[in-house]
Structure 1
Amino acid sequence: MVNSKDLISVPGMNKTEHRSIIKRLRDYAIVGQKLFWQRAIIYLSALALAGFYYDPKVALFFLIAIAVCETYDTLLMRRVLAASEARTMKPRRMFYHIYAGTILSAVTISLFCVSIAIQQGTDSGHFLPLFLLISASIFATMNNHQFIPVLASRLAIYVIAILYIAIRDVWIVRPPLKSEIWLNLFTVLFVLGFVLELARTFILGYSVLLKSRLALQIEHKNALAASEAKTRFLATVSHELRTPLTSIKGALDLIDVGSAGEVPPKMTRLLGIARSNSSRLIDLVGDLLLLQSSDAGKFTLNLEMVDLGSLVTANIHNFQPYAKTLNVEVDVDIPAEKFFVLGDKKRLGQVVTNLLSNAAKFSETGGIVRVALTSEDENLVLSVADQGIGIPEGSETQIFEEFGQIDSSDQRKFQGTGLGLSISKRIVEGHGGTIEYDSELGMGTTFKVTLKSAG
């Protein structure tokens, strides 16, 4: 909770306390602006009744006084909101203005109600002025609980006015204890206890809410910082790895073609392994760069008219040697007609390769990967189905998240970075399409990519 001492010592506050006060000031101003018309209707109705049944001149005087108070409050609320938006807020000065406006308006309303009670005499029960004061007290506890000193000042003024009205009758009339005048005083005391308890409840509730809100803001800030750090790390590592890896692969290629002399037969296999793994590392670095650029909002596509059928067929042809190493067969069902989409040929090829690699990797030995391309209304649907282990229910988020693996243990059977499906999802969604899957444990999984047809 914030007390008046805290508010006066703003320069010595830490950042969390300072943010808390600014947030309370902003909340106070927002609520004050939203409730302007409610207050205006209540005041005008009360003043109209007072003017009609009692002294019109007194009602007119308080109409002007309340209008001045409301004008002051409205200008102050606008100033608070403008200062918070421009980050030029001076909390201590704003608080003093709010404090002064609160006292001014509470005194004006209290004097208005006391004036009605005086005009009513001592035998009316004072329903109207007491009702107005108690309603104002409840209204304040519900909407002005951001600062305890402000609310306490307003309630103190209202309580003094309420007690003055009730005690004044007792003092003037001096009735016996059985008189309803005494009953009115006891009733007033009971209601005041209820109002104070209500104020305490709202203050505690708001304090808890504000602490939770600040905790969420801090967590959000920490999450953003962690995300930015990860993005910078990926960018730095990826760029630093790409250059030496490219040089290594180039050197291996030159050796393999005999630029440095004839390669001994015993080294051919070793060179092949080295070239294969360097290519794999280059592809991984490319995936990391794509991931980083997507996170940074710099993910771009080179769009052109692409025959999706030819693209899929070409990627399947290039994929066949890898499928043979896993003893997996690829069954293709792609009609001879053209299937055009507006897309990035290289990125869409990457999606096809990722889906084929994923299907083959999770297939059993001798399994079949079925690839089909169909047209559905204005969309083209590419499906890649395997007969592998399947995906458990409720794993969609994990499947498509970065570095996601259903089995993330060091001893997992199927190795991989977990980037393929995440990158594929980003590429497909960048084309305005969708990627989803159907799966049954032990029976296999079918991934479907849906893209808008351009043919």
Structure 2
Amino acid sequence: MVLQLQNLKESNEFLNILFENITSALFILDKDARIKNMNESFSHLFKKGENQVVGNLCGNVIGCEFAVEANSLCGETSYCKKCMLRSDILQTMSEKVPTYKRKLSRDFYSDTQKVTKHFLYSTRHITYYGDEYILVIVDDHTELENSRNKLQEQNETLRILNDQKSKFLGIAAHDLRNPIGAIKSFSDILLESSSEISDDEKMEFLELIKESSQFSLNLINELLDISKIELGKLNLDKKQSNIQEIIAKTIKINKIFAKKKNIEIKFIVSTAISPISLDRNKIEQVLHNLLSNAIKYSNPNTVISLSIIEKESNIHISVKDQGVGIPDKELKKLFSAFGTTSAKTTANESSTGLGLTIAKKIVNKHGGEIMARSKLGEGSEFLFTLPVD
């Protein structure tokens, strides 16, 4: 008899050791869904000791968001009737029907911090000395689920980038076909029939070759810029700079192109402007794009106004033309890659459709915003901001 009691005691100790060392969180509930016992893994998962657990309702112990936020007991919130875990526990108690690895994704409170957890839980009905209990086994899959979600997000990002790459290649091939074809055709004519062509025609052909080459080069450069931006490689070399000097330099360069259409560029400064930290080359790129677009879409003998003002800790820069304008419903296309509108350049100038996309990325990277206003037939205004340090 003494030997049997010793064996029973040792068996219970062995079972307790197993119970405490199982990596799944185990807890035992009575018919009222109050926790009667739990293992060490449960304490680790829900960050609560035995004195905070035993005798308390399941939902309150595990930090169910609905019980915590309603400051109510488990079973008394408006959500409890829809709670899958509670429903399975009650069904297992009443019908002795087990639940096997049911997935539960929900927000829980750990101390005062709200976190999303992903569990797999199983329930089993047990009877001990005439009393009925439910054994609940919980496996934490939060880290695995987060990794899976992150992988799905990465795959979706790669899919989008791959679609963009295919779109870029398709559009680039389409847009490069004509200028490269023109270069080849005019080069062939000059090489094969040079003696039969007048000097004026030769100069015309060379000018067309130059324009086609420049368009192709611009498109390739902008495609490279877009690729760097999409890969997160838009790095800024920011230095304290005088934005007025940068604008004046950009205007000086673009006046050469404006002169061909007898367009005047006015620079308006209404307040003193503070030096700001920026990447000079990148901001020049933005200004060149806005001014060159204004020239392309302006009628001859008109005025382009470039104004700058400092207010509310930001530098506001505006480029306003008296050109053809853009239909209101097409404005949202302007800053998307290869976004095109029905607006036509006034002297058949070429455009890649990438410049404004790049400008937006550069301005946003500086912490600013860019936008457009336009009215068909009355011109357009492009505005962007740069934060003062």
| TM-score in terms of structure 1 length | 0.46
Report the equivalent of 1:267.
202
Give matches, 1:314-333, under 5 Å: 314-333=249-268
* Shift in alpha-carbon separation, 1:231–1:302, aligned structure 2, 3 A: farther
CA contact 1:359–1:369 (8 Å) conserved in 2: yes
Matched, 1:144 2:59: no
Alignment of 1:415-430 (within 5 A): 416-430=351-365
C-alpha contact 1:234 1:289 (8 A) present in aligned 2: no
Q: How many residue pairs align between the two structures? A: 263
Identity %: 24
Deviation at 1:346, TM superposition (A): 1.5
1:310, distance to aligned residue in structure 2 (A): 1.9
Q: Shift of residue 396 of structure 1?
A: 4.8
* 1:346 and 2:287 matched: no
Alpha carbons 2:271, 2:310 under 8 Å: kept: no
Q: State how far apart, in whole Å, the 1-side matches of 2:357 and 2:281 are.
A: 17
Partner of 1:158: 94
- Matching residue's letter, 1:158: S
Q: Over residues 254-288 of structure 1, what are the superposed CA-to-partner deviations in whole Å (9 max), with x where a residue is unaligned?
A: xxxxxxxxxx6753443333233323322221211
Partners of 1:376 and 1:282 lie apart in 2 by 38
3-state SS of 2:83 partner: helix
- Which residue does the alignment assign to 1:67? 36
**In proportion to residue count, which structure has more strand?**
2
Cα deviation for residue 327 of structure 1 reads 4.4
- The answer to whether the 8 Å contact 2:273/2:309 transfers is no
Structure 1: 5+ residue runs without aligned partners?
1-31, 45-65, 79-133, 162-213, 253-263
- Give 1:307's match in structure 2, choosing from 242, 250, 253: 242
CA distance in 2, matches of 1:430, 1:440: 28
Residue 370 of structure 1, CA deviation: 1.1
Aligned-pair CA distance for 1:307: 2.1
What does residue 158 of structure 2 align with?
224
CA distance in 2: counterparts of 1:348 and 1:141, whole angstroms: 56
Q: Note closer, same or farther for the CA distance 1:346–1:40 as it changes in structure 2 (3 Å cut).
A: farther
- 2:230 counterpart (295, 301, 314): 295
Q: Which has the higher helix share?
A: 1
TM value normalised by structure 2: 0.53
User: Which residue does 1:284 correspond to in 2?
Assistant: 219
**Separation in 1, partners of 2:245, 2:31:** 72
The answer to whether the Cα contact below 8 Å between 2:325 and 2:343 also exists between their aligned partners in 1 is no
Name the CA shift for 1:452/1:141 in 2 (closer, same or farther; >3 Å): closer
Cα offset, 1:337, TM superposition: 6.7
Show the counterpart of 2:333: 398
8 Å contact 2:31–2:93 — kept in the other structure? no
CA distance, structure 1, for counterparts of residue 41 and residue 312 of structure 2: 61
C-alpha distance 360-41 of structure 1, shift in aligned 2 (>3 A)? farther
Deviation at 1:355, TM superposition (A): 0.7
What is the CA distance between 1:330 and its match in structure 2?
2.1
Shift of 1:349: 1.1
CA–CA distance in structure 2, aligned partners of residues 295 and 322 of structure 1: 31
Give 1:297 shift.
0.8
RMSD: 4.9
C-alpha distance in structure 1 between counterparts of 2:267 and 2:374, whole Å: 20
